Amino acid sequence: MIDYKKAEQAEKLLLESGVPFTLAYNNTDKYMRCCVFGNYPTLKEFIVTMMVQAVVNVQSKYGEEAAMKELMGMMTEAAQRYCEATQGDEKCEVLN
C-alpha cells in the first residue's frame, strides 16, 4: 500500500535539509505532486537527466528515432502546459 504521508514527510525533510532536489509523485488518479528546490542550473540538470533516463527504455525497445520523438514530445507538452499556465487555453492553440 502506498503511504502518501511518508512522501509528504520526505518532501518536508528534503526542504529542511536545504539540498537541491526534485520530487514528483502521483498522489491520486487526478493529482500529481511536484516539488523542486534549488538554483536554476541545478534544477535544469535534474530535469534533463530525468528526461534522458525516461527515454532510455524507449530507445532500447524501439530505437533511437522513437526515443528522439519521445524527447521532442516531452518538450512540446511542457511548452503547451507552460503556455496554458501563463496565458490561458485560448491563446495556446498554435501549439496544438
The answer to whether 91 touches 82, Cβ cutoff 8 Å, is: no
User: What is the residue-averaged pLDDT of the chain?
Assistant: 89
CB atoms within 10 A of CB 62: 13
pLDDT at 95: 53
Model confidence at 70, pLDDT cuts 50, 70, 90, reads very high
Please report how the helices 40-62 and 64-87 are oriented relative to each other, as an axis angle in degrees rounded to 10.
140
Q: Give yes or no for residue 94 having a pLDDT over 70.
A: no
pLDDT, tens only, 23-69: 988 877 778 888 899 999 999 999 999 999 999 999 999 999 999 99
Max mean pLDDT range (7-16, 27-36, 81-90): 7-16
